[in-house]
Structure 1
Amino acid sequence: MSIIKSALSQIAHGHPLVTEFKNQVITLKPLPLPSNNIVLVDYTLEGHDDQYEVKFNGPLDVDLSALFRYLTTMNDPTGSKSFPKYEDVIDALNVIMGHSPRGNSEIASIGRSRFFPIDEPTLRTERQGLGWNEAIRGYFQSARPATGRLLLNANVSHGVFRPAGPAINLFTQAALYNMHTLHKNMSELRARVTYLGDKGETKRVLVKIIQGLASPYTAKGKVAKPPKVKRLGATATEVEFYLTGPTGSTGLAPNRYYTVAEYFQRRYGKSVNPNLPVINIGTSQRPVYMPAEAVEIIPGQPLQRKLNARETPTLITFACRSPVANATSITTFGRKCLQLDNNEKLSEFGVEIEKDLLTINERELKNPDIQYKNQKEANPSEGSWNMIGVKVLKPGAKIDRWTFVHVDPEPRDKDTVTRIMNGEFTKVLTDMGIPIAETPMHPQGLVVNTRAAHPVDAVRHAFTEIRRASGGKGAQFVFVILAQNDPDVYAAVKSLGDTEFGIHTTCMVRKNFTKGRPMDQYFANVGLKINLKMGGNNHQLKNDIAIIREGKTMVVGYDVTHPPPGSNSPSLVGLVASVDKELSQWPAAAWAQDGRVEMLGEKLRENFGERLVLWQKNNQQRLPENIIIFRDGVSEGQFQQVLDKELPLIREACAKKYPANSAQPKITVVVSVKRHQTRFYPTDPKHMTKSRNVATGTVVDRGVTQARIWDFFLVAHAALQGTARPAHYTVLLDEVFRANLGQGAAAANGIQELTHEMCYMFGRATKAVSICPPAYYADIVCTRQRAYMTDLFSDTSDTASVGGASSTSRAGYGKDISVEVHRDLRNSMYYI
């Protein structure tokens, strides 16, 4: 940033300009550049003077007036149907908006749009619970086009940052008994390091990268006289380094070892704390040790790793605030952080941001009534209902062979679990109408000891014993009682059950059995999953969804999840499709493709064709006349690619399955997105939930949308805490609704009502969900795949994966190691 700032200061000469300090400069007129477009910058880095060349390319003209003409008329004069429109102009506006906060040393900028005030103590958490890191409340901003106007989309954002401040203060607060954790937390931090002169005065301050704490393994065998370090995290009196001459008049003898404390005392007349670790600001091969007093960690460095299970609740608690609190924060602290007021740069570019949040109109869709067996009804309130006194609508296949497994049990708890599994558990399921044998195959259960064996080996041994005891038939269902939420054991259970043994599995945590209170509600929730896995239907809407009731429409959902940046792991695809008009069963297909590739390839055609075959088998050999597709997770810039790359593969799959002389199905493609920053805050108490969010069923399709883009926001669910996040749906193609309901409002209302009512059809819950089930199920399928490949996805675990040959290939491993769901489960909702 400093080099770019220096280059721009040389050529600005009163020209208004803004930048994101990386590769873009926005100006109102061309810059007076040298003939070769290169500006030379003298810069000192880590004590070394150097000269840098900053080369400017362009300029490229950005026509703001063209964007405003489009927003006024909503007509693209080029005739292009691509989306989004005028990306280059919006990008330039975002550079203008972000220039001031990004150039402020008291604000940390993350990515292109997130800004965090690092000098505001009221907007941060304590470090307890976040592994010595801290959460900071910041703000997101992005320019968004809407019909007739340009909007600034602003929202509260939360980030986790690494520790900052004088190292001596941080060490005083830290748990110095755990040096391994402290060493890891210090590694790769940028810090200002103070170098002293002969009289102990500050000579210079340089920015360095911390290697970590002193380690006895550092530089071993690399240099002739390596440092002597007694232990990891050794103090200034426990680390010795070899000093070569000459030493001048410092009073230090050459060619001998000195401790860090001794060196600072004799060289600079400075005493250092003998109880605090020294810090390595060199490398592991060539360490340079500095006392904590000389090191100050630069604030605003984001945590790059994923939070673990112990840390996540701390961030959730900090981030969870009422809608009113967030709305107030945006218009007060947010405006200050984003520097929206009295901003000279914004004024130079003619940008002004209104003081208040935008007020828009919404409408509310009616909560549909729910129906169970024998036409018993449940009436949702704020998107939620209960199952008291009702049975599932349609039971799945009877579970004749089932058993349960204790993982690392405690003797007393084991007896409690055994008693409940042989009594209350089956009673609750039977009362729900789920057919299950009263007695398990192993009345005492089986025991898995993961302390003595790897989780995969321990679980495989138990599953093998289950198969042997049943004469090779195996169990239909195995219930695994975990000692705690253990991702490694969970992954082993799902991977082995789904891919190797063909057994349905459900994991439960032991603490739920030992609370000493009835487990009816807990087992009822488990029962919903069980019935879906066995092919059942838990509930339906009292009034059938209009376009679905005729049994001629298949609904599809698919999603792609990606590995973390820098990983060579594959991206994972999940595809689900309905097989009946009840929308109860959603068999899945899953596969992998090249990492971080969003658009689907040839396997989409093959697997989509298999979904059509399943529909045909369940519908008297008829193929669907309509196909409604919910494509999850693509960005606006990829919308056209969905139509250009994925839709042709889907049409090819249909062409192969439909008779040559018959009509091809009508297709509607809708993109569903949850990861966006638009939020709505109610203004009327009559139209808000108990948590003070907008009412369930709220639809917004005006004010923040574009007339030429068929999109809408829907809040189908009730957020129990925090601010409800609406789902954003964009219709990329419609051949179904307009053909059945006509043009205009009828088609728009039809797709909104379908999407809303489907949110009440998520089979494992008694509440409306925030995203429509096809997209939700597809995301779950992707997540389940990660459990099969834990060696590739470190956020799951590092357990070795298991499975047989299939189509889920692993990128970057030199050979095709893959996973396929067992044939006995393939056409079921095994993933739920």
Structure 2
Amino acid sequence: MEGGGGYRGRGRDGGGRGDSVERGGPGADYSARARDGGGGGWRGIGGGGYQLRPWRTGAQGWEEKQRQQQGDSNVESGHWRSQVMGTASTGGSGEGSSSVGGGSRGAWRRGVDNRVGELSWRSDSDVEPSGPEQQRVDTNVESGQWRAPAVGSALVGGSGEGSSRVCGGGRGSWRRGGDNRGGEASWRCDHNAEPSPEQQQGNANVESVHWRAPVVGGPGENPSRVGGGSRGLWRRGGDNRGGGEAWRSDSNVEPSPEQQRGETNVESGRWRAPVVGPAWVGGSGEGSSSIGGGSRGTWRRGGGNREGGEAWRSGTGKSPWIAAPPVQRQLQRSPPERIADRVLPELQSLRMSEKVTTFQSEPLEDSNRNLPVKRPDEGGTLATRTTTLCVNHFPVKFSPDTVIMHYDLNIKPEVPLKNGRPVKVSKPNLLMIRNKLSSDDPVRFPLSLTAYDGEKNIFSAVSLPTGKFYVQLPEGEDTRGGSYVVTIKLVNELKLCKLRDYLCGYLLSIPRDILQGLDLVMKENPARNMIAVGRSFFPRGPREGDDLGSGIMASRGFQHSLRPTSQGLAMCLDYSVLAFRKRMPVIDFLGENIVGFDMHNFRRFRREVDRALKGLKVNVTHRKTKQKFIIRGLTFDNTNRILFDVEDPEGKSSTRRIRIVDYFRDKYDKEILYKDIPCLDLGKGNKRNDVPIEFCVLVEGQRYPKEHLNRHAAIMLKNMSLAKPKVRKDEICSMVCSKDGPFGGGMVQNFGLKVDSNMTEVTGRIIEPPELKLGASDGKTIKVTVEKVKCQWNLVGKSVVEGKRIDRWGVIDFSSSDRGKFRLDRDDFIRKLINRCKDLGIHMGDPRVCKRATMDIFLRLDMLRELLESTKEEAYKIYKGHLQILLCVMSKRDPGYKYLKWISETQVGIVTQCCLSTYANMANDQNLANLAIKINAKLGGSNVELNDPLPHFEDKGHVMFVGADVNHPGSGNTTSPSIAAVVATMNWPAANRYAARVRPQDHRKERILSFGDMCLELVENYARLNNVRPDKIVVFRDGVSESQFDMALNEELLDLKRAFQSVKYTPTITLIVAQKRHQTRFFPESARDRSSLGNISPGTVVDTIVVHPFEFDFYLCSHYGSLGTSKPTHYHVLWDEHGFTSNHLQKLIYDLCFTFARCTKPVSLVPPVYYADLVAYRGRLYFEAMEGHSPASTASTSTSSTSSSSLSTSSLDQKFNFFKLHPNLENKMYFV
């Protein structure tokens, strides 16, 4: 776009010797994204210098080192840039130096012009330049939208031969301004629109986000057009100086040798070397510049591009050493950066937070998406004490020169069709064919140097031949045999230097293809030797003492994942326990699994046998084979009555009909013992395969659902899963060193990886718990200090902060038909509950509506609905008002619970509180207090509050905390919808009362489809209750994995902002992901720092070494681990418009964990997410109740969706009516 002194970009200076892109004269070089200085200067090294982002002063303090800012040096870091005058300067010399840092953000700042000493004005905002002084002919003016560096008589909005005015015009449209050389046209566009033919003519300057073609000298011999070409590829354009070639790429692809030669300009995401003389990437000589190398964050020296003066550069925001007295370090945060320079175009056009500076994510390399916000500091400092912890992260070392080859493997039968249909090769056969390919030619296809995913992907440490290959499988019991065509095609070369660059911060987006390839390499050895279940692996042989009875055993295995961390690549490996069916004869399994089973009375147990065996895999023993068969069920006839047709193998006679008893005797010399029971149906499709039960053995490695375990087995499995920290740590270390583990078998070594078998050590900080506010007997509030070790508090002699008055309530006793301890002593229980509520500051009158029912009513939903409706109506007549709460006492945990909640909360409109009669009859103070605080919270009372204001939000303005989660159906369910839930605080500053919204959405859809609408509903609800909308919103999102961060950041957040913009509402927003489903565990080294169970203390924070290399995340263990090994919550900040520091955010979340309504201790997960999880589960109960209630509903919705996992709009609308909360409950915490 620019020529002859023309200027482009935001806060990027050039000038100097007149041959710069940004400020050069005729002959200037142009680079697609580089902002060059004069004399071919490159990115702030010598000649005109380079400014990567808008100028700003250092905000983290400076220390003394004179050499980096001396007169002939350039200085640049993430936030400090000062092209210094002298021999290496930003144009001119002596008094003509320019300092554009400083000044308040958005204000116009004066600097010295970089050419002839005239004034230069700059602003980081879109403010229009002021009057004549800033717009005069010899003045440079630049802001977010005003740009007019002067050349001669060039001015903002002026006219004449040299005038240039590039502002104005609608965003996205091409705009015309005067050329800065000879009056020719200059065209500019802010988006990706292709320029018109007129705009591409030889003497025109053209620039948009991806079209750039500054012309030197009109349509002469050296025009340059750098647009076109596929994004990320290297593109050739004419050099703008001496005719040499210029190569540019929008990605980090390494330039070829041709592209790096001496007279060539090279530029990509990380390779840049505009040539001045013989300067090139990595070259040498007086004018050379090498900007590569050096570890990220350190200052590195390169040659000056003019006089050989020193040039210093840093990849981080660390301040340069200066010769001035040191400035006190500002600990709060780095200076803010403009939203307009950083955000997604859609967000920018929404202008959601114009009044606030945002600490926002770096744009992706393609400038179309946003990445999570970077860490604002070097980690938190708050701590009452520190502790040394071991973490189950094992460092993985690799060579950045390593290249892993990724191949596509396509295996098909040589005869592809059978009966006109394509033949699908089974997974076991795929593996056998791949292994046969390697055994046939081990030199060209080395098995030990390849990792296979069992389907289409092979990753290899060496190059493999590509093309078509033929593999012949021999005929056998396990295989059909035959010839197969194997097509191998190179997909990608995974260069581990990219992973190194990401870990060092040179790349913004994670190279997932490389991590996926390395992850498969790590899985190859355990996949060959262990039982794989999802991402976990379990040993094949059972351990002594792991038998759970009933034909079931527990197996102790591991799950692992590769993680980019601050210490580099690390393998996170954790202990895992699952229940499996034992490998045993089916008859023996039935004897152990079914109580009282008797083979001689099989008919009695037929239904239970069918339910226990259907879908299981078996091997057969009457012939030699490893083939696995799936049990479809039991045959209709008993074995002695089963007949089938047998063909003559020689074809001499027709088929004959034979009994299966005779067939097994003649064919296999096997006498069937149990002739009076059915066979197992092992057929597939229309093909019959009836096998007597006595010849079938269960295949090992078949998972047994823990929900189906009996009570004894469930307790045993839970105790194994909740291993104490020392046991868990020892198990993990044992698995790391196992020959069957991810590091055994030599596979990782063959790929050039080296794994440290020692756990990583980190320093944890223990944050001080907050002081709380409770009620006193005199009705006032008192300050409470929590207990030191467990951080708990009690309600002995204390009351809740605000107790609701409960005058209209009732009781339904569902235990009236039970006997003994299961039958409620109603009068005694009600009297004790009323007294305990009174002690806690909750006034509760006598219930005037008391009814009796039986548990059988849950089987008759019409009767249950009638009972609830009549109770509501009776209460209204008695109290002259709506029932506040209905206490429901049940004799046992029952599936009818979901029907009760569905009907009462979506149809009748009653808040219910359920309890078991056994606990009600005990009526001890603890049980009654737990019941009382739940009731108080459901009715809008406040049980506990923080004594001090929440960190970071001490100033004026309302703050809303939002929690969001999605509940998905179980693994075997393929049709049910997922349930989205959003909750939000409804009061400030206590921030402990919540309202909720819940909706169904497409099956297994993680993105919350109505996120913006649900949040807006809650905001408007807040406004009705408080007469003001919240100024600030902090969103906590649960259930999102790292691979879904982009969805949460660029889809859900955008949906939220669009919804707010629709009502002209612009709060500041922070988006944080809270993750509990991770494998990271911490183990205290010192006995002083362990709890009695060996766990870490509540308030332990880790935000170094094992966290992300540069994004804003940390681990917080906010609870006291009383069972097993404590699992910290991983918090990852995706978007931040509030400028949180590590200290403020960590303390804020920890303090919020003390405000959970239904217990007197801090919880493990920040309450907005905890409540969202409860609401989403409640929505799941609604759906199950709805499906179980109406066969017609089930047939029309669930069954019809079996052909597709996506629900139709009408189906979702229909289901939403069933989920829609009754208006009486919309502002209540009914879910507590």
TM bucket by the smaller chain?
0.7 to 0.9
Give the secondary structure class of the aligned counterpart of 2:904.
helix
Which residues of structure 1 form unaligned runs of 5+? 197-203, 217-227, 230-237, 739-746, 802-808
Q: Deviations over 1:798-828 (max 9, x none)?
A: 9989xxxxxxx99369642332111111111
Which residues of structure 2 form unaligned runs of 5+? 1-430, 599-604, 1195-1204
Contact 2:573 2:1079 in 1 (8 A): yes
Could you tell me which residue of structure 1 aligns to residue 552 of structure 2? 133
Distance 1:707 1:171, change over 3 A: closer
Q: Which amino acid aligns with 1:513?
A: A
Could you tell me which residue of structure 2 aligns to residue 582 of structure 1? 990
Contact 1:715 1:725 in 2 (8 A): yes
Looking at structure 2, the residues matched to 415 and 117 of structure 1 have their Cα atoms a distance apart, in angstroms, of 47
Could you tell me which residue of structure 1 aligns to residue 625 of structure 2? 205
Pick from 471, 477, 484 the counterpart of residue 52 of structure 1.
Answer: 484
Contact 1:790 1:798 in 2 (8 A): no
Distance 1:46 1:427, change over 3 A: same
Looking at structure 1, the residues matched to 506 and 1037 of structure 2 have their Cα atoms a distance apart, in angstroms, of 27
Give the CA RMSD over aligned residues.
3.2
Contact 1:161 1:300 in 2 (8 A): yes
Displacement after TM superposition at 1:583 (Å) = 1.3
Could you tell me which residue of structure 1 aligns to residue 1177 of structure 2? 783
Could you tell me which residue of structure 2 aligns to residue 466 of structure 1? 871
Pick from 943, 950, 953 the counterpart of residue 545 of structure 1.
Answer: 950
Give the secondary structure class of the aligned counterpart of 2:794.
coil
Pick from 109, 114, 128 the counterpart of residue 532 of structure 2.
Answer: 109
Give the secondary structure class of the aligned counterpart of 2:493.
coil
Contact 1:407 1:450 in 2 (8 A): no
TM-score scaled by structure 1?
A: 0.84
Looking at structure 1, the residues matched to 432 and 512 of structure 2 have their Cα atoms a distance apart, in angstroms, of 28
Q: Deviations over 1:328-359 (max 9, x none)?
A: 01111453164355522222112222222111
Q: Which amino acid aligns with 1:18?
A: A
| Pair 1:22 & 2:470 matched | no
Looking at structure 2, the residues matched to 754 and 799 of structure 1 have their Cα atoms a distance apart, in angstroms, of 49
Deviates most, 553-562 or 365-374? 365-374
Looking at structure 1, the residues matched to 1223 and 593 of structure 2 have their Cα atoms a distance apart, in angstroms, of 53
Pick from 115, 121, 145 the counterpart of residue 543 of structure 2.
Answer: 121
Could you tell me which residue of structure 2 aligns to residue 70 of structure 1? 502
Could you tell me which residue of structure 2 aligns to residue 142 of structure 1? 561
Distance 1:701 1:318, change over 3 A: same
Displacement after TM superposition at 1:522 (Å) = 1.0
Q: Deviations over 1:123-178 (max 9, x none)?
A: 844234xxx43331111111111124211100001223234233354345443244
Give the secondary structure class of the aligned counterpart of 2:572.
strand
Q: Deviations over 1:767-808 (max 9, x none)?
A: 1111100011111110111121115779x999989xxxxxxx
Give the secondary structure class of the aligned counterpart of 2:837.
helix
Q: Sequence identity, in percent?
A: 24
Give the secondary structure class of the aligned counterpart of 1:150.
strand
| Pair 1:320 & 2:752 matched | no
Could you tell me which residue of structure 1 aligns to residue 351 of structure 2? none
Query: Which is bigger in relative contact order (C-alpha 8 A, separation at least 6)?
Result: 1
Displacement after TM superposition at 1:264 (Å) = 4.1
| Pair 1:609 & 2:1016 matched | yes
Q: Deviations over 1:101-135 (max 9, x none)?
A: 1012xx10122x3110021424844234xxx4333
Q: Which amino acid aligns with 2:531?
A: A
Could you tell me which residue of structure 2 aligns to residue 700 of structure 1? 1102
Could you tell me which residue of structure 1 aligns to residue 696 of structure 2? 295
Q: Deviations over 1:639-696 (max 9, x none)?
A: 122221111222223334456xxxx322111110101111111111111212211111
Could you tell me which residue of structure 1 aligns to residue 926 of structure 2? 521
Give the secondary structure class of the aligned counterpart of 2:1147.
helix
Q: Please tell me whether Structure 1 or Structure 2 has the larger radius of gyration of its CA atoms.
A: 2
Q: Deviations over 1:300-333 (max 9, x none)?
A: 1234785478565443223121010010011114
Contact 1:20 1:102 in 2 (8 A): no
Give the secondary structure class of the aligned counterpart of 1:789.
helix
Distance 1:62 1:448, change over 3 A: same
User: 1:223-622, aligned counterparts within 5 Å?
Assistant: 228-229=637-638, 239-242=640-643, 244=645, 258=659, 260=661, 264-265=664-665, 268-274=668-674, 278-282=679-683, 287-303=688-704, 307=708, 310=711, 312-336=714-738, 338-340=740-742, 343-373=745-775, 374-376=780-782, 377-380=784-787, 381-407=789-815, 409-412=817-820, 416-442=824-850, 445-450=851-856, 454-471=859-876, 475-487=883-895, 489-514=896-921, 517-549=922-954, 550=956, 552-565=958-971, 566-580=973-987, 581-601=989-1009, 603-619=1010-1026, 621-622=1027-1028
Distance 1:347 1:411, change over 3 A: closer
Looking at structure 1, the residues matched to 544 and 853 of structure 2 have their Cα atoms a distance apart, in angstroms, of 50
Give the secondary structure class of the aligned counterpart of 1:513.
helix
Displacement after TM superposition at 1:525 (Å) = 0.8
Contact 2:812 2:886 in 1 (8 A): yes
Distance 1:67 1:123, change over 3 A: farther
Looking at structure 2, the residues matched to 656 and 39 of structure 1 have their Cα atoms a distance apart, in angstroms, of 62
Looking at structure 1, the residues matched to 541 and 1116 of structure 2 have their Cα atoms a distance apart, in angstroms, of 37
Q: Deviations over 1:428-471 (max 9, x none)?
A: 122212222123312xx3214526x6242232121122134235
Looking at structure 2, the residues matched to 414 and 267 of structure 1 have their Cα atoms a distance apart, in angstroms, of 61
Could you tell me which residue of structure 2 aligns to residue 234 of structure 1? none
Q: Deviations over 1:272-314 (max 9, x none)?
A: 4449874332369765333444323221123478547856544
Q: Deviations over 1:520-542 (max 9, x none)?
A: 21121111111111111000122
Distance 1:214 1:627, change over 3 A: closer
Distance 1:697 1:666, change over 3 A: same
Deviates most, 560-569 or 706-715? 560-569
| Pair 1:3 & 2:422 matched | no
Give the secondary structure class of the aligned counterpart of 2:1225.
coil
Contact 2:646 2:657 in 1 (8 A): no
Looking at structure 2, the residues matched to 51 and 246 of structure 1 have their Cα atoms a distance apart, in angstroms, of 26
Could you tell me which residue of structure 2 aligns to residue 828 of structure 1? 1228
Looking at structure 2, the residues matched to 3 and 186 of structure 1 have their Cα atoms a distance apart, in angstroms, of 31
Contact 1:395 1:536 in 2 (8 A): yes
Looking at structure 2, the residues matched to 507 and 379 of structure 1 have their Cα atoms a distance apart, in angstroms, of 30
Displacement after TM superposition at 1:595 (Å) = 1.7
Give the secondary structure class of the aligned counterpart of 1:752.
helix
Give the secondary structure class of the aligned counterpart of 1:103.
helix
Looking at structure 2, the residues matched to 783 and 633 of structure 1 have their Cα atoms a distance apart, in angstroms, of 13
Looking at structure 2, the residues matched to 667 and 535 of structure 1 have their Cα atoms a distance apart, in angstroms, of 26
| Pair 1:767 & 2:1161 matched | yes
Q: Which amino acid aligns with 2:862?
A: D
Distance 1:205 1:39, change over 3 A: closer
Displacement after TM superposition at 1:587 (Å) = 0.6
Looking at structure 2, the residues matched to 246 and 626 of structure 1 have their Cα atoms a distance apart, in angstroms, of 79
Give the secondary structure class of the aligned counterpart of 1:434.
coil
Contact 2:964 2:1038 in 1 (8 A): yes
Distance 1:799 1:524, change over 3 A: farther
Deviates most, 206-215 or 533-542? 206-215
Distance 1:9 1:326, change over 3 A: same
Looking at structure 1, the residues matched to 810 and 591 of structure 2 have their Cα atoms a distance apart, in angstroms, of 55
Could you tell me which residue of structure 2 aligns to residue 188 of structure 1? 615
Deviates most, 306-315 or 749-758? 306-315
Contact 2:770 2:1151 in 1 (8 A): yes
Contact 1:213 1:277 in 2 (8 A): no
Pick from 1138, 1147, 1158 the counterpart of residue 736 of structure 1.
Answer: 1138
Give the secondary structure class of the aligned counterpart of 1:724.
coil
Q: Deviations over 1:12-64 (max 9, x none)?
A: 42542122222221112321233x46766566576633433333332311011
Contact 1:383 1:767 in 2 (8 A): yes
| Pair 1:668 & 2:1070 matched | yes
